[in-house]
Amino acid sequence: MFPNFLPTAVGQLTESESIALARSIQTAALTTPLSNQTIATAYVKQGSGGTPILLIHGFDSSVLEFRRLLPLLAEKNETWAVDLLGFGFTDRLSGIAYSPTAIKTHLYYFWKSLINQPVILVGASMGGATAIDLALTYPEIVKKLVLIDSAGLAGGSPLSKLMFPPLDYLATQFLSNMKVRDRVARIGYKNQNLASLDALYCAALHLQMPNWHQALIAFTKSGGYSAFRFKKISQIVQKTLILWGDSDKILGTKDAIRFKRAILQSTLTWIQDCGHLPHLEQPQITAQHILNFCSE
């Protein structure tokens, strides 16, 4: 059985990893300074032992992004994935200014309420920028940092220029078109066979959650994640593992080297024969690199 807060289209999932992760999604009613109401926050927790691992998904995504990676990590470590504020299956309440600052605040209170011990923080794509922001603001809660084809060196979103009525609604309607999402997803993979119908359903399921349009418009209008300056990134004190697909067509490969130069205690590992999504395209190799890094 699937949780009743998920859209009914969850029944369209066909791959075992997708179905299993969707069935394991829970919600926690978080109290935060962002609202007088608690925020029903979607997350997954699997495994036990070791330093907890916390997985942070990318732009306009959800915990389903980690359907192949999370179970592999959970074989050795307690592993969490959470839907960021304004994304995934987490409630989108009215009256909240959806922005990187709000996302960071919500994420901190998620950590404080449910984990409350230093974590190995893993951020993929935009989730990498979120992870960097959290590690710089609350360094005491991040034991180690893993960046997977991370954003953070190129700021803002070109969509922000379209976020005024009526173009804001039209822009999000464009992003919700299944053919558009399929084309974008295919750019993310090197192995096009992985851009399956199930993968498309995973990437689009959260679009049916209430207030998806409004929250995405608000986040984009906020400017999203600005580019971190080299000097700012160099303030990261945690040991950092940079994992990067050698055929990334979304962000390219130059930023991997720039992150390596900026973060003093960092190691760059290329994921061979892989695009922008190592955690989906090469999950076993990606998991092994992360687990080795955890146990160092």
Tokens found for residue 171: 């822009």
Choice between 184 and 47, residue whose per-residue pLDDT is larger? 47
Classify domain 8-295 by CATH number.
Answer: 3.40.50.1820
Output the CA torsion sign for 12, 82, 154, 224: positive
- Among the listed residues 129, 42, 53, the one whose alpha carbon sits nearest the alpha carbon of residue 84: 42
DSSP assignments along the chain, one per residue: ---TTS-GGGGG--SHHHHHHHHH-EEEEE--TT-SS-EEEEEEEE--SSS-EEEE--TT--GGGGTTTHHHHHTTS-EEEEPPTTSTTS---TT---SHHHHHHHHHHHIIIII-S-EEEEEETHHHHHHHHHHHH-GGGEEEEEEES---SS-S-GGGGG-STTHHHHHHHHHH-HHHHHHHHHHH-SSGGGS-HHHHHHHHGGGGSTTHHHHHHHHHHTT-SPPPPHHHHTT--SEEEEEEETT-SSS-SHHHHHHHHH-TTEEEEEETT--S-HHHHSHHHHHHHHHHHHH-
Residue 171's pLDDT is 58
The pLDDT tens digits for 216-235 are 989 988 888 888 888 999 99
What residues contact 130, with CB distance under 8 A and at least 6 apart? 56, 84, 100, 103, 104, 107, 123, 225
Choice between 216 and 156, residue whose per-residue pLDDT is larger? 216
The pLDDT tens digits for 11-34 are 999 999 999 999 999 999 999 999
The pLDDT tens digits for 85-134 are 999 999 999 999 999 999 999 999 999 999 999 999 999 999 999 999 99
Residue 167's pLDDT is 45
Confidence category of residue 247, pLDDT binned at 50, 70, 90:
very high
The pLDDT tens digits for 46-63 are 999 999 999 999 999 999
Is 45 in contact with 80 (CB distance < 8 Å)? yes
Report the pLDDT averaged over residues 279-296: 97
